[in-house]
Chains A and B, each alone.
Chain A
Amino acid sequence: MPVPLAYSLRNLWTRKLTTALTAGGMALVVFVFAAVLMLDEGLKKTLVDTGEPDNVVVTRRASGTEVQSGVERAAAAIVESLPQVALGEGGARQVSKELVVLISLNKRESDKPANVIIRGVAPMGLTLRPQVKIVAGRMFRPGSNEIVAGRSIAERFAHTGLGESVRFGGREWVVVGIFDAAKSGFDSEIWGDVDQLMPAFRRPVYSSLIFRLNDVSGFAAVQNSIESDQRLTLEAKRERQFYADQSEALSTFIRILGMSLSVIFSIGAVIGAMITMYAAVANRTGEIGTLRALGFRRASILAAFLLESLFLALLGGLLGLFIASFMQLLTISTMNWQSFAELAFRFTLTAAIVAKSLGFALLMGLVGGFFPALRAARLNIVDALRAV
């Protein structure tokens, strides 16, 4: 016969301070654990969602990022004429030949400089990114010194708000619109007309080429024809893959750092749970003897104390997740080492992270509670009943 559930629960309630302190320690550990997973998820979501499944990015071989890449005009023309490129309205090829460079801008609050991606796009560039929408002002007019800024840029950098103007490449550029890119990486970019930006930066070559496939399954063919062409020193990647690769270093760093911290911290929390549960067992020796005398088996006692520890852990886990859920309101911005550009992303909570965090909390409870519960179960009835 199992010991009633209420026994385990009430025991936690009786020692409120101890329960609160132990659960509080666990909550902090779960908070760190969940926050790291949320950050990693947010980073992945930001960069992976930047890509469309049927878009292809062409850059110079081994360059890794668009900023380091260079695509000669002749090479761009060869890629543009590939048969797998989709045709849009009126038979126009769905290709955008783009220039991507970094410029140094000062932040609004701290006045410290950070690198910002500025992207020169062709008119087709917007069609290729359906997630990009103008939310204030209007789109830049081709052939003018007008630019549009991504939402996280306009919020964080000086002189990039609607109607303001910013100087780079020897010219003044007017911000005529703010765009929202559905939390993708484009939110951390500034866009302008590629034919205006190239002379301003004295760049005779494009950085990258983005085109849409007329058939999603045609990627292997187009990759083969680009990479086997002797005239080209380019490589093609699916847009999603391209951006996922960019987040790799930062994501690995966050994961390794976060997981090692979680492991170290959980040692502390497990020890806390162990101390609490050992004390709970020691204080209730007489009680345990009584329970045994009443006919409860060793296994039932073991289960009762384990349950108590698991409840404690669950309490800590829920509390930690509750605090972590508020992190979703925060936006974090840092330099992405692979592109050397500033990138803004959010903490993102998913069902999988909730499950993982609670699982982690329960594991701590299990580890911390097992030995004390074992001690309780092994007590000799007569000795236990004699204890004061």
Chain B
Amino acid sequence: MLPALIFRNAFRHKLRSLLTLLGLTVAILAFGLLSTVVEAWYAGAEGASSARLVVRNSISLVFPLPLTYRQKIRQIDGVRAITTANWFGGIYKEPKNFFPQFAVEASTYLDLYPEFVLSEAEHKDFLHDRQGAVIGEKLAATYGIKLGDTMTLKGTIFPGQWAFVVRGIYRGRDAKTDVSQMFFHWDYLNETMKVRAPRRANTVGVYVVEVADPTRVAEISRVIDGEFGNSYAETLTETEKAFQLGFVSMTEAIVVAIRLVSYLVIFIILAVMANTMAMTVRERTAEYATLKALGFGPPFVMLLIYGESLAIAALGGGIGIALTFPVATAFAKAMGTLFPVFVVSAKTVWLQACCALAVGLISALFPARSAARVNIVDGLRSIG
């Protein structure tokens, strides 16, 4: 009898229940999206390998490293492979079309990044064409680029117009892989810079080093930095994960704000839901008094109210969670390459469910208590 009563009660005021349900759905959906945005922020660091080290200039990233360091680092014990990358910072058509571009040592770069999956034929094509480039499948989809197309970038760090021919489109090994990057030949960049600005030729942005034994990364980092200590270009070596987290921590204030706001939306809906329950209970005071007069105890009345609150919360939460997936997909599409990885995680879904449950329980807290305390005689007189 109890479940039937709860269900009937929950939908007695159709309009009110519907409005509350709608509010809850929107709130749980917004919460899920915001959590996913925060996770997308950390995606670069999540996908980073712990066996790769990034060697950069100790002053800051805007200072390059000399080409001569390659050989010295390669000879250090425990280093299995090495490659180079220069941040290019070009603009594709419009400044808002942001995606990372790297000038890399073409012959070795993809060997160090097995998560970028490229077919054998395309890899070969890329190696043979010095003006060739490899782009991620998301990038290709966003801007409608096909193999063999020419992409022209306007350089902000390296002046001039740069034309590249797309020779390969890579896929990600798993969902966490960033598939919105672009790589091209460092040789192409260097030869052009030799002509345009000879002073800036033969320099490397960062060296990426693969170590044979991931447990030795701290030791190898120290050896590398020691090798170049007191030289004119001192190095700072850290794991790729720490390197990526460094970027995230610089924009931490924004992440904190988004996280805060995502909990605020839960508070807003809590106020709405608590209001609904308070009004419901006030209107039905006479009914609860009747139930008590018939011999039902306070626990039964409380159960009735908690049950109703939880039923609405569960329904609203369920719809909200179900909607999160299609909305997140649409959002990721609209955002283009700004968020390379945008996946709703299991943790987000759990948090959404917990929030809905908490809203249901807290909303019923005060109304249930006051209903349980209703005096039969006063309650029967009440006209709501």
Question: Which residue of the partner chain B has the closest CB to A267?
Answer: B26
Question: Which residue of the partner chain B has the closest CB to A203?
Answer: B63
A28 at the B interface (CB under 8 A): yes
Interface residues on B, range: 35 or more
Question: Which residue of the partner chain B has the closest CB to A102?
Answer: B60
Interface 1/0 per residue, A21-37 and B, CB below 8 Å: 11011001101100000
Flag if A272 contacts B279 (CB, 8 Å): no
B319 at the A interface (CB under 8 A): no
CB distance from B59 to the nearest CB of A (A): 5
Which chain B residues border A17 with CB–CB below 8 Å?
A: 275, 278
Flag if A25 contacts B271 (CB, 8 Å): yes
Flag if A275 contacts B272 (CB, 8 Å): yes
B216 at the A interface (CB under 8 A): no
Known: A25-B268, A268-B23. A101 touches B62 (CB 8 A): yes
Which chain A residues border B63 with CB–CB below 8 Å?
A: 101, 201
Q: Which of A21, A24, A68, A202 contacts B278 (CB 8 A)?
A: A21
Flag if A333 contacts B154 (CB, 8 Å): no
Which chain B residues border A269 with CB–CB below 8 Å?
A: 268, 272
Q: Which of A29, A61, A113, A333 contacts B268 (CB 8 A)?
A: A29
**Measured CA separation A333–B250 after assembly (Å):** 9
Instruction: Spot the interface stretch: A50-58, A122-130, A209-217, A257-265.
Output: A257-265
A13 at the B interface (CB under 8 A): no
Which chain B residues border A18 with CB–CB below 8 Å?
A: 275, 278-279
Q: Is the interface of A mostly helix, strand, loop or mixed?
A: mixed
Known: A265-B265, A333-B253. A283 touches B159 (CB 8 A): no
Flag if A68 contacts B89 (CB, 8 Å): yes
Which chain A residues border B156 with CB–CB below 8 Å?
A: 62-65, 68
**Measured CA separation A8–B251 after assembly (Å):** 47
Flag if B59 contacts A201 (CB, 8 Å): yes
Which chain A residues border B384 with CB–CB below 8 Å?
A: 283
A94 at the B interface (CB under 8 A): no
B27 at the A interface (CB under 8 A): yes
CB distance from B35 to the nearest CB of A (A): 13
**Measured CA separation A257–B272 after assembly (Å):** 23
**Measured CA separation A342–B62 after assembly (Å):** 14
Flag if A334 contacts B250 (CB, 8 Å): yes
Flag if B272 contacts A104 (CB, 8 Å): no
CB distance from B288 to the nearest CB of A (A): 17
Which chain A residues border B23 with CB–CB below 8 Å?
A: 267-268, 271-272
Give chain B interface residues in 44-61, CB to chain A under 8 Å.
58-61
A322 at the B interface (CB under 8 A): no
**Measured CA separation A283–B58 after assembly (Å):** 71
Flag if A334 contacts B271 (CB, 8 Å): no
B369 at the A interface (CB under 8 A): no
**Measured CA separation A32–B30 after assembly (Å):** 14
Which chain B residues border A201 with CB–CB below 8 Å?
A: 59, 63
Question: Which residue of the partner chain A has the closest CB to B252?
Answer: A334
B20 at the A interface (CB under 8 A): yes
Flag if B20 contacts A24 (CB, 8 Å): no
Give chain A interface residues in 93-135, CB to chain B under 8 Å.
101-104, 110, 112-115
Flag if A275 contacts B20 (CB, 8 Å): yes
Q: Which of B61, B91, B261, B269 contacts A32 (CB 8 A)?
A: B261
Q: Is the interface of B mostly helix, strand, loop or mixed?
A: helix
Which chain A residues border B375 with CB–CB below 8 Å?
A: none
**Measured CA separation A333–B278 after assembly (Å):** 42
B222 at the A interface (CB under 8 A): no
Question: Which residue of the partner chain A has the closest CB to B230?
Answer: A170
Which chain B residues border A70 with CB–CB below 8 Å?
A: 197
**Measured CA separation A93–B384 after assembly (Å):** 83
A136 at the B interface (CB under 8 A): no
Which of B268, B274, B279 counts the most chain A CB atoms within 10 A?
B268
Which of A29, A233, A335 counts the most chain B CB atoms within 10 A?
A335
Flag if B22 contacts A272 (CB, 8 Å): no
Flag if B264 contacts A32 (CB, 8 Å): yes
What's the tally of chain A residues with a CB closer than 8 Å to chain B?
A: 59
Q: Which of A271, A279, A332 contacts B22 (CB 8 A)?
A: A271
Flag if B62 contacts A67 (CB, 8 Å): yes
Which chain B residues border A31 with CB–CB below 8 Å?
A: 264
Flag if A115 contacts B60 (CB, 8 Å): yes
Give chain B interface residues in 245-266, CB to chain A under 8 Å.
246-247, 249-254, 257-258, 261, 264-265
B322 at the A interface (CB under 8 A): no
CB distance from B152 to the nearest CB of A (A): 13
Which of B15, B61, B155 counts the most chain A CB atoms within 10 A?
B15
Q: Which of A101, A102, A233, A333 contacts B159 (CB 8 A)?
A: A233
CB distance from B253 to the nearest CB of A (A): 4
A274 at the B interface (CB under 8 A): yes
Known: A204-B199, A334-B254. A169 touches B59 (CB 8 A): yes
Flag if A276 contacts B26 (CB, 8 Å): no
A346 at the B interface (CB under 8 A): no
Known: A334-B252, A342-B250. A261 touches B26 (CB 8 A): no
Which chain A residues border B249 with CB–CB below 8 Å?
A: 110, 112-114
Q: Which of B19, B155, B269, B283 contacts A274 (CB 8 A)?
A: B19
B150 at the A interface (CB under 8 A): no
B121 at the A interface (CB under 8 A): no
B383 at the A interface (CB under 8 A): yes
A278 at the B interface (CB under 8 A): yes
**Measured CA separation A283–B278 after assembly (Å):** 14
CB distance from A330 to the nearest CB of B (A): 10
**Measured CA separation A25–B359 after assembly (Å):** 14
Question: Which residue of the partner chain B has the closest CB to A334?
Answer: B253
Flag if A28 contacts B251 (CB, 8 Å): no
Interface residues, chain B, with chain A CB atoms under 8 Å away? 15-16, 19-20, 22-23, 26-27, 30, 34, 58-63, 89, 91, 95-96, 154-157, 159, 197, 199, 230, 232, 234, 236, 246-247, 249-254, 257-258, 261, 264-265, 267-269, 271-272, 274-276, 278-279, 283, 383-384
Not counting A28-B268, A272-B271, a sample of 18 additional A-B residue pairs whose C-beta atoms are within 8 angstroms of each other reads A18-B275, A18-B278, A21-B271, A68-B156, A103-B60, A113-B246, A115-B61, A204-B199, A265-B30, A268-B23, A268-B27, A271-B19, A272-B268, A276-B279, A278-B16, A283-B384, A332-B253, A332-B257
Q: Identify the 9 closest CB pairs spanning chains A and B, nearest first.
A: A335-B250, A25-B271, A272-B272, A21-B275, A271-B23, A334-B253, A102-B60, A104-B60, A21-B271
A-B contact pairs, 13 of them (CB 8 A): A21-B271, A28-B271, A63-B157, A101-B59, A170-B230, A201-B63, A204-B199, A265-B264, A267-B26, A268-B23, A272-B271, A275-B16, A275-B279
